[in-house]
Amino acid sequence: MPFTLRNLSVLAYAQGFTLWHYKAPGAELSALGAPGFFDLACDMLASGDMLMMSAQDGGRIVFVANAGKTVHLAAMA
C-alpha cells in the first residue's frame, strides 16, 4: 500500500513538536515502517516528532529520528 497524505493527521502541536496519526486500512505495520514509506511527507515531519500508526494488524508509536529528504523512524525507548 502506498503512502496517502490524507491519512496523515495532526493530533497535537506545541513548541515545534507534533504528534501525528497515520491510519492505513488494509496495510500491515511492517509496510508502514519500511524505509522511505513516509518520504512524501518529509516537508511536514520534523526530527523529534512522534507518529502513531494504525494498521490492520495493530498499532505502533514511533519517533521521527531524521526528517531530511528521507524520513527515518525509530522505535520508542
Residue-level pLDDT at 33: 87
Q: Which cell is 44 given? A: 511536514
**Ranges of residues in the chain whose predicted pLDDT is under 70:** none
Q: What burial class does residue 73 get, using C-beta atoms within 10 Å of its C-beta: 0-12 exposed, 13-18 middle, 19+ buried?
A: buried
Residue-level pLDDT at 74: 93
